[in-house]
Protein backbone atom coordinates (compact mmCIF):
# COMPACT_ATOMS: atom_id res chain seq x y z
CA UNK A 1 0.00 0.00 0.00
CA UNK A 2 1.22 3.51 -0.84
CA UNK A 3 0.63 4.70 2.70
CA UNK A 4 1.25 8.42 2.28
CA UNK A 5 -0.84 8.59 -0.91
CA UNK A 6 -3.69 6.64 0.69
CA UNK A 7 -3.73 8.98 3.69
CA UNK A 8 -3.81 12.01 1.40
CA UNK A 9 -6.58 10.43 -0.68
CA UNK A 10 -8.82 9.76 2.34
CA UNK A 11 -8.23 13.23 3.79
CA UNK A 12 -9.13 14.86 0.48
CA UNK A 13 -12.18 12.61 0.16
CA UNK A 14 -13.36 13.67 3.62
CA UNK A 15 -12.82 17.36 2.84
CA UNK A 16 -14.61 17.14 -0.50
CA UNK A 17 -17.54 15.28 1.02
CA UNK A 18 -17.94 17.78 3.86
CA UNK A 19 -17.72 20.74 1.49
CA UNK A 20 -20.27 19.26 -0.91
CA UNK A 21 -22.60 18.38 1.96
CA UNK A 22 -22.17 21.92 3.32
CA UNK A 23 -21.52 20.71 6.86
CA UNK A 24 -19.16 22.22 9.39
CA UNK A 25 -17.15 19.26 10.65
CA UNK A 26 -17.02 15.68 11.92
CA UNK A 27 -18.04 13.72 15.01
CA UNK A 28 -16.11 10.55 15.85
CA UNK A 29 -16.74 8.14 18.70
CA UNK A 30 -13.33 7.39 20.20
CA UNK A 31 -13.06 4.06 22.00
CA UNK A 32 -9.35 3.57 22.56
CA UNK A 33 -9.16 1.19 19.59
CA UNK A 34 -7.14 1.41 16.40
CA UNK A 35 -10.03 2.07 14.00
CA UNK A 36 -11.48 5.06 15.84
CA UNK A 37 -7.99 6.43 16.47
CA UNK A 38 -7.17 6.33 12.76
CA UNK A 39 -10.54 7.75 11.71
CA UNK A 40 -10.36 10.67 14.14
CA UNK A 41 -6.79 11.44 13.06
CA UNK A 42 -7.78 11.51 9.39
CA UNK A 43 -10.75 13.77 10.17
CA UNK A 44 -8.52 16.08 12.20
CA UNK A 45 -6.08 16.38 9.30
CA UNK A 46 -8.84 17.78 7.06
CA UNK A 47 -8.74 21.04 9.00
CA UNK A 48 -12.48 20.79 9.63
CA UNK A 49 -13.65 20.92 13.26
CA UNK A 50 -13.46 17.40 14.66
CA UNK A 51 -15.31 16.45 17.83
CA UNK A 52 -13.94 13.35 19.54
CA UNK A 53 -16.53 11.75 21.79
CA UNK A 54 -15.90 9.31 24.62
CA UNK A 55 -18.99 7.21 25.34
CA UNK A 56 -18.16 4.88 28.24
CA UNK A 57 -20.64 2.27 29.42
CA UNK A 58 -19.06 0.18 32.18
CA UNK A 59 -15.84 0.63 30.20
CA UNK A 60 -12.59 -1.13 31.06
CA UNK A 61 -10.07 1.29 32.52
CA UNK A 62 -7.39 0.49 29.94
CA UNK A 63 -9.78 1.37 27.11
CA UNK A 64 -10.61 4.69 28.76
CA UNK A 65 -6.93 5.45 29.30
CA UNK A 66 -6.04 4.75 25.67
CA UNK A 67 -8.91 6.89 24.39
CA UNK A 68 -7.86 9.80 26.59
CA UNK A 69 -4.21 9.44 25.55
CA UNK A 70 -5.20 9.59 21.90
CA UNK A 71 -7.53 12.56 22.32
CA UNK A 72 -4.88 14.48 24.27
CA UNK A 73 -2.34 13.80 21.51
CA UNK A 74 -4.76 14.97 18.82
CA UNK A 75 -5.63 18.16 20.69
CA UNK A 76 -1.93 18.93 21.14
CA UNK A 77 -1.38 18.55 17.37
CA UNK A 78 -4.55 20.09 15.94
CA UNK A 79 -6.34 23.28 16.95
CA UNK A 80 -9.51 22.07 15.22
CA UNK A 81 -9.98 19.09 17.58
CA UNK A 82 -12.26 19.24 20.60
CA UNK A 83 -13.64 16.54 22.84
CA UNK A 84 -16.54 15.66 25.09
CA UNK A 85 -17.20 12.77 27.43
CA UNK A 86 -20.74 11.42 27.77
CA UNK A 87 -20.94 8.64 30.34
CA UNK A 88 -23.89 6.50 29.27
CA UNK A 89 -23.59 3.94 32.07
CA UNK A 90 -26.61 5.21 34.00
CA UNK A 91 -28.62 5.52 30.78
CA UNK A 92 -27.80 1.91 29.93
CA UNK A 93 -28.80 0.77 33.42
CA UNK A 94 -32.07 2.71 33.19
CA UNK A 95 -32.78 0.97 29.89
CA UNK A 96 -32.23 -2.45 31.46
CA UNK A 97 -34.60 -1.54 34.28
CA UNK A 98 -37.50 -0.55 32.03
CA UNK A 99 -37.44 -3.31 29.41
CA UNK A 100 -39.11 -6.66 30.21
CA UNK A 101 -36.96 -8.94 32.34
CA UNK A 102 -35.42 -11.97 30.67
CA UNK A 103 -33.51 -14.91 32.06
CA UNK A 104 -29.74 -14.50 31.60
CA UNK A 105 -28.59 -16.05 28.34
CA UNK A 106 -26.12 -15.43 25.49
CA UNK A 107 -28.99 -13.95 23.47
CA UNK A 108 -29.74 -11.43 26.23
CA UNK A 109 -26.04 -10.58 26.55
CA UNK A 110 -25.78 -9.94 22.81
CA UNK A 111 -28.95 -7.84 22.74
CA UNK A 112 -27.62 -5.69 25.57
CA UNK A 113 -24.21 -5.40 23.88
CA UNK A 114 -25.92 -4.13 20.73
CA UNK A 115 -27.97 -1.74 22.86
CA UNK A 116 -24.73 -0.15 24.08
CA UNK A 117 -23.68 0.50 20.48
CA UNK A 118 -27.09 1.96 19.62
CA UNK A 119 -27.10 4.29 22.63
CA UNK A 120 -23.73 5.57 21.44
CA UNK A 121 -25.00 6.07 17.90
CA UNK A 122 -27.95 8.10 19.19
CA UNK A 123 -25.61 10.29 21.22
CA UNK A 124 -23.24 10.88 18.30
CA UNK A 125 -26.14 11.99 16.11
CA UNK A 126 -27.43 14.29 18.84
CA UNK A 127 -24.04 16.00 18.97
CA UNK A 128 -23.75 16.03 15.18
CA UNK A 129 -27.14 17.71 14.96
CA UNK A 130 -26.15 20.41 17.43
CA UNK A 131 -23.05 21.36 15.46
CA UNK A 132 -24.06 20.53 11.86
CA UNK A 133 -21.38 17.84 11.74
CA UNK A 134 -21.21 14.45 10.01
CA UNK A 135 -20.85 11.22 11.98
CA UNK A 136 -17.71 9.51 10.69
CA UNK A 137 -17.78 5.71 10.78
CA UNK A 138 -14.85 3.68 12.08
CA UNK A 139 -15.45 0.30 10.43
CA UNK A 140 -12.78 -1.37 8.30
CA UNK A 141 -13.26 -3.60 5.25
CA UNK A 142 -13.00 -6.93 7.08
CA UNK A 143 -15.59 -5.90 9.67
CA UNK A 144 -17.99 -4.08 7.36
CA UNK A 145 -17.92 -6.26 4.25
CA UNK A 146 -16.25 -9.48 5.38
CA UNK A 147 -17.72 -10.81 8.62
CA UNK A 148 -20.23 -8.06 9.44
CA UNK A 149 -18.70 -7.55 12.88
CA UNK A 150 -20.61 -4.46 13.92
CA UNK A 151 -24.01 -3.49 15.28
CA UNK A 152 -26.74 -2.68 12.79
CA UNK A 153 -27.84 0.90 13.52
CA UNK A 154 -25.16 1.05 16.19
CA UNK A 155 -21.56 1.60 15.12
CA UNK A 156 -22.89 0.79 11.65
CA UNK A 157 -25.14 3.87 11.78
CA UNK A 158 -22.95 6.60 10.27
CA UNK A 159 -22.91 9.29 7.58
CA UNK A 160 -19.71 8.25 5.82
CA UNK A 161 -17.06 5.54 6.15
CA UNK A 162 -13.53 6.79 5.44
CA UNK A 163 -11.64 3.57 6.26
CA UNK A 164 -14.14 0.94 5.09
CA UNK A 165 -12.01 0.06 2.05
CA UNK A 166 -8.97 -0.69 4.22
CA UNK A 167 -8.12 -4.16 5.48
CA UNK A 168 -7.27 -4.33 9.19
CA UNK A 169 -3.56 -4.70 8.40
CA UNK A 170 -3.78 -1.54 6.30
CA UNK A 171 -5.48 0.26 9.19
CA UNK A 172 -2.47 -0.58 11.36
CA UNK A 173 -0.06 0.51 8.64
CA UNK A 174 -1.80 3.86 8.21
CA UNK A 175 -2.13 4.35 11.97
CA UNK A 176 1.61 3.81 12.42
CA UNK A 177 2.34 6.28 9.63
CA UNK A 178 0.13 8.89 11.32
CA UNK A 179 1.72 8.25 14.74
CA UNK A 180 -1.31 6.91 16.58
CA UNK A 181 -0.20 6.15 20.18
CA UNK A 182 1.76 2.91 20.55
CA UNK A 183 -0.54 1.78 23.35
CA UNK A 184 -3.39 1.67 20.83
CA UNK A 185 -1.32 0.04 18.09
CA UNK A 186 -0.32 -2.76 20.47
CA UNK A 187 -3.70 -3.32 22.15
CA UNK A 188 -5.73 -6.41 21.26
CA UNK A 189 -8.79 -5.34 19.21
CA UNK A 190 -12.03 -5.42 21.21
CA UNK A 191 -15.49 -3.97 20.71
CA UNK A 192 -15.78 -3.36 24.46
CA UNK A 193 -19.51 -4.09 24.40
CA UNK A 194 -19.69 -6.84 27.01
CA UNK A 195 -18.01 -5.21 30.00
CA UNK A 196 -15.34 -7.90 30.24
CA UNK A 197 -11.92 -8.68 28.76
CA UNK A 198 -13.04 -10.61 25.66
CA UNK A 199 -11.32 -9.58 22.44
CA UNK A 200 -12.62 -9.57 18.87
CA UNK A 201 -10.67 -12.77 18.24
CA UNK A 202 -12.32 -14.40 21.26
CA UNK A 203 -15.74 -13.57 19.83
CA UNK A 204 -15.05 -14.42 16.20
CA UNK A 205 -12.75 -17.40 16.66
CA UNK A 206 -10.12 -16.10 14.24
CA UNK A 207 -7.63 -13.24 14.11
CA UNK A 208 -7.94 -10.35 11.68
CA UNK A 209 -4.91 -11.63 9.75
CA UNK A 210 -6.70 -14.95 9.32
CA UNK A 211 -9.95 -13.25 8.31
CA UNK A 212 -8.13 -11.15 5.72
CA UNK A 213 -6.66 -14.31 4.27
CA UNK A 214 -10.12 -15.92 4.14
CA UNK A 215 -11.64 -12.83 2.53
CA UNK A 216 -8.97 -12.90 -0.16
CA UNK A 217 -9.51 -16.62 -0.72
CA UNK A 218 -13.26 -16.12 -1.13
CA UNK A 219 -12.61 -13.34 -3.63
CA UNK A 220 -10.53 -15.86 -5.60
CA UNK A 221 -13.47 -18.26 -5.70
CA UNK A 222 -12.12 -20.76 -3.18
CA UNK A 223 -14.38 -23.00 -1.08
CA UNK A 224 -14.03 -25.02 2.14
CA UNK A 225 -13.09 -28.08 0.07
CA UNK A 226 -9.85 -26.35 -0.93
CA UNK A 227 -8.48 -26.30 2.62
CA UNK A 228 -7.68 -28.47 5.62
CA UNK A 229 -6.62 -28.01 9.23
CA UNK A 230 -6.62 -24.48 10.59
CA UNK A 231 -7.15 -22.97 7.14
CA UNK A 232 -10.34 -25.01 6.79
CA UNK A 233 -11.56 -23.85 10.21
CA UNK A 234 -10.84 -20.19 9.48
CA UNK A 235 -12.43 -20.27 6.05
CA UNK A 236 -15.52 -21.94 7.54
CA UNK A 237 -15.76 -19.27 10.27
CA UNK A 238 -15.40 -16.49 7.72
CA UNK A 239 -17.88 -17.99 5.25
CA UNK A 240 -20.52 -18.53 7.92
CA UNK A 241 -20.30 -14.97 9.28
CA UNK A 242 -20.24 -13.49 5.80
CA UNK A 243 -23.39 -15.45 4.93
CA UNK A 244 -25.46 -14.79 8.06
CA UNK A 245 -24.54 -11.10 8.21
CA UNK A 246 -25.44 -10.21 4.63
CA UNK A 247 -28.49 -8.39 6.03
CA UNK A 248 -26.07 -5.82 7.47
CA UNK A 249 -24.18 -5.34 4.22
CA UNK A 250 -27.02 -5.15 1.69
CA UNK A 251 -29.65 -2.41 1.27
CA UNK A 252 -32.86 -2.87 3.24
CA UNK A 253 -35.22 -5.18 1.30
CA UNK A 254 -38.17 -3.39 -0.26
CA UNK A 255 -41.45 -5.08 -1.10
CA UNK A 256 -41.99 -3.86 -4.65
CA UNK A 257 -45.60 -3.64 -5.82
CA UNK A 258 -46.17 -5.11 -9.31
CA UNK A 259 -47.39 -2.63 -11.91
CA UNK A 260 -50.63 -4.53 -12.43
CA UNK A 261 -51.50 -4.03 -8.75
CA UNK A 262 -50.98 -0.30 -8.79
Class of residue 222 by CB neighbours under 10 A (exposed 0-12, middle 13-18, buried 19+): middle
Q: What is the pLDDT of residue 104?
A: 87
Class of residue 52 by CB neighbours under 10 A (exposed 0-12, middle 13-18, buried 19+): buried
- The superfamily in CATH containing domain 3-196 is HUPs (3.40.50.620)
Distance CA 60, CA 192 (A): 8
Share of the chain above pLDDT 70, in %: 100
The predicted model scores a pTM of 0.94
Q: Which residues of the chain have pLDDT under 50?
A: none
Q: What is the pLDDT of residue 19?
A: 98
Distance CA 115, CA 154 (A): 8
pLDDT tens digits, residue range 74-88?
Answer: 999 999 999 999 999
Amino acid sequence: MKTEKVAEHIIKWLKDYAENAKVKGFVVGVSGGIDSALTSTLCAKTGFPTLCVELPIHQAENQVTRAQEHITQLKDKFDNVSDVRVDLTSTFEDFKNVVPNAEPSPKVDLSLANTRARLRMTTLYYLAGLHSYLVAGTGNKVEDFGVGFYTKYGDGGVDLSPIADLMKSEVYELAAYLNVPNSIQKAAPTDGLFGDSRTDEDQIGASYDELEWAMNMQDKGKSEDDFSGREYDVFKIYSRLNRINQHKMLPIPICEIPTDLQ
